[in-house]
Amino acid sequence: MTEIVFLVEDDPDGGYTARALGGESIFTQADDLKSLREMVRDAVHCHFPENQTRPKIIHLHQFDPNGGIRQPMR
């Protein structure tokens, strides 16, 4: 696997959640987007301890509740 995609959503209790799409059971949350990026990176490293199997690219797509469209995060 060379890439992994996460869906980012607003958490009803505040902050954000991110969950991996495509079959990997990876989930994390944080108070702000900067921290969420760090938490996602850490979760991917924990889920894929071997560097050879770890995805090299992590995509974060934020869900737009108004249109339901996933927007790539910058």
pLDDT at 34 exceeding the cut of 70 = yes
State residue 64's pLDDT score. Answer: 74
Mean pLDDT of the chain: 90
Give the integer Cα–Cα distance in Å for 6 and 20. 4
Q: How far apart are CA 47 and CA 36, in angstroms?
A: 16
Q: Grade residue 43 by pLDDT with cuts at 50, 70 and 90.
A: very high
pLDDT band at residue 70 under the 50/70/90 scheme: low
pLDDT category at 21 given cuts 50, 70, 90 is: very high
